[in-house]
Amino acid sequence: MGGFSSTHAVMLDEADFQESGIRKIFSSLTMGSDYQWLKTLGLSLEDINDSYGPRASGKIAGQYDEFFFDADASAAGMPVVKKNYIGTEEGLSFLGNPENPQAGTVYDVNGGARVIYQPNETHPWNHFSKTSTAQAISFYDMAFSDYYEVLTVGEEGQTWMFKEWLSFVALIGFFLLFIPVITLLSKLPFFNSIYTARPDPLPSPKTNGAKLSGLILIIIGGLFPALFFSALYGGDFYGMRLLRQVSMIFIASSAIVLIFSWVRKSERSVKIVSSVLLLLSVVQYIYLRLQDRMLATTELFGAPTVNPVLYWAINVAIITLMMMVGYHYISKKREGATLNNYGVKASMKTIFASLVTAIAAVGIGYGVLYLADAIFKVDFRIWTVAVKTFEAQHLIALLKYAPLFLIYYFVVGLSVNMNTATVKYNGVKGYLISIFHFIGGLVLYLVYQYGLLFTTGTAGYPTESLSSIIVIGLVPILLVAALFNRYFYRLTGNVYVGAFLNTLLMTMITLANTALYTIF
């Protein structure tokens, strides 16, 4: 919210100038913000633009910004379109209403320089861009041109990207750290209980039908999380209505099959499948109906951008579990598969040791982070992904969110194991299937969303602004989760270490990166 605050600060400084005769702010350049929220204070366009006075003032207004710079698009509820800010009433007024205004051209207004830059960038792209940074440098070199003897940077004097790339190397090292840490911990007494016998791989499907059903499950499992992301995250009316209708169809069909299985005295597996699917369908329907309540920021769940992700994750887990149950009893069980083949069968000691191991590993990992922060004042990051230090309220929030996120990481991890239980997925193919399950659909979502935005000027989901940006951050996090899930399953022979590690680590990374409201 820095852009809004900066503009408002200029307005307050100009109001103070009327009494004190002193302007404390010499110049201002905002990035990725217009006057949308300032107008909610009852301020008119003239009030805002007159407040700049003779200051050098500028705006970086990305043409593909997901939120701002086109009031008509925002009013229509479809903000993710190509923008031309200097062609709007607001942009023209800022520049002094010149004829044929040009982006990057400096105009004299009220004795001060005014300029609007319009890079071909999205909102998050602005914050990781040599172009936008060059425009910021150019602006301040112009604004402080009378002070060149003090400092001149120049557009080619950018060094920030070296810090970014080296922080990225550190980020990779941070995630890699968990492999040797857990391996070493597992050599200690009690911690070595995380190991179970690795299940023997099942033979590859023999019939075309079995091969096709397995492929369909993999594709649906990878694509479903993305197909309804906008509906589950943002509450799209039509998407949610479709999901509820499908849920009701599953309830009805499962109930009918269950009744007939008892009447016809069908085999036990049919009764089990229909009963479990009926139960999960009812749970899914109730959960879908509670969307408004689940997305709300409350005293219990105080992270407003995390709540929709959690809601999406739980829904994905329920649907994935339904597909797994059906696939197991219809196909995999006939091939000789048991729960042991999926890495779910383990003793309570193994499960508890896996949890303690994950807690210890995350503690060691964050210990390295805090050490780097204390000594070098840096953390581990690249663009929208950052492993940041946290405070006490984040730890409390972790205790609330982690049990629910565990449902997602456990079920999706289990689904990966089910679909990679055959011989042909022992190597690299198994990792690729894991990656596809976790992020395949989300990557396609981003390609569709931003591919259309840059080629046609209108995004694939023009109503989805923040949710699409959230996906950008989700992809690398879930990519790491996919690799951890597969690696630690092959290392330990069960799903638990990977599920617990992903839950604790990814949930904390998410909570530490967003706003968190707490009530004391």
Residue 262 counted as domain residue = no
Residue 228 counted as domain residue = yes
Q: What is the pLDDT of residues 318-358, one digit of tens each?
A: 999 998 888 887 777 777 777 777 888 899 999 999 999 99
Residue 238 counted as domain residue = no
102 shares a domain with 214: no
Residue 87 counted as domain residue = yes
How many whole angstroms from its chain centre is CA 420? Answer: 26
Domain termination residue (choose one: 101, 116, 147): 147
23: its two tokens: 């302007």
Provide the residue-wise pLDDT of the chain in tens; the chain has 520 residues: 788 999 999 999 999 999 999 999 999 999 999 998 888 888 889 989 999 999 999 999 999 999 999 999 999 999 999 999 999 999 999 999 999 999 999 999 999 999 999 999 999 999 999 999 999 999 998 999 888 666 677 778 799 999 999 999 999 999 999 999 999 999 999 999 999 987 777 766 666 666 677 777 778 877 878 888 888 887 777 888 888 998 999 899 989 988 988 877 777 778 888 898 999 999 999 999 988 888 898 888 999 999 999 999 999 999 999 988 888 877 777 777 777 778 888 999 999 999 999 999 999 999 999 999 999 999 999 998 999 999 999 999 999 999 999 999 999 999 888 877 776 777 888 899 899 989 999 999 999 999 999 999 999 999 989 889 999 999 999 999 999 999 999 999 999 999 999 999 999 999 998 888 876 5
**Residue 445: phi, psi to the nearest 5?**
-60, -45
Q: What is the pLDDT of residues 29-82, one digit of tens each?
A: 999 999 988 888 888 899 899 999 999 999 999 999 999 999 999 999 999 999
Residue 244 counted as domain residue = no
Residue 279 counted as domain residue = no
158: its two tokens: 């950018």
Residue 278 counted as domain residue = no
The backbone region for 59, taken as left when phi is positive above 0, alpha when psi lies in -120 to 50, beta otherwise, is beta
Cα–Cα distance list, 204 to 36, 336, 420, 423, 507 (Å): 58, 11, 10, 6, 36
199 shares a domain with 95: no
67 shares a domain with 14: yes
DSSP 3-state of 2:
helix
462 shares a domain with 339: yes
Half-sphere exposure of 102 (CA within 13 A, CB side): 3
121 shares a domain with 187: no
210 shares a domain with 109: no
Residue 343 counted as domain residue = yes
178 shares a domain with 136: no
- The structural domain count of the chain equals 2
The 10 Å CB-count burial string (b at 16+, else e) for 39-69 is eeeebeeeebbebbbebbbbbbbbbbbbbbb
Domain termination residue (choose one: 92, 119, 147): 147
Which residues span the domain enclosing 63? 2-147
> Whole-prediction pTM value?
0.90
Residue-level pLDDT at 519: 62
Task: Give residues with Cβ within 8 angstroms of 166, minimum separation 6.
Answer: none
Q: Which residues pair with 114 in a beta bridge?
A: 57, 107
Domain termination residue (choose one: 118, 147, 176): 147
Q: Are strands 56-60 and 27-31 parallel, antiparallel or unpaired?
A: parallel
171 shares a domain with 135: no
192 shares a domain with 341: yes
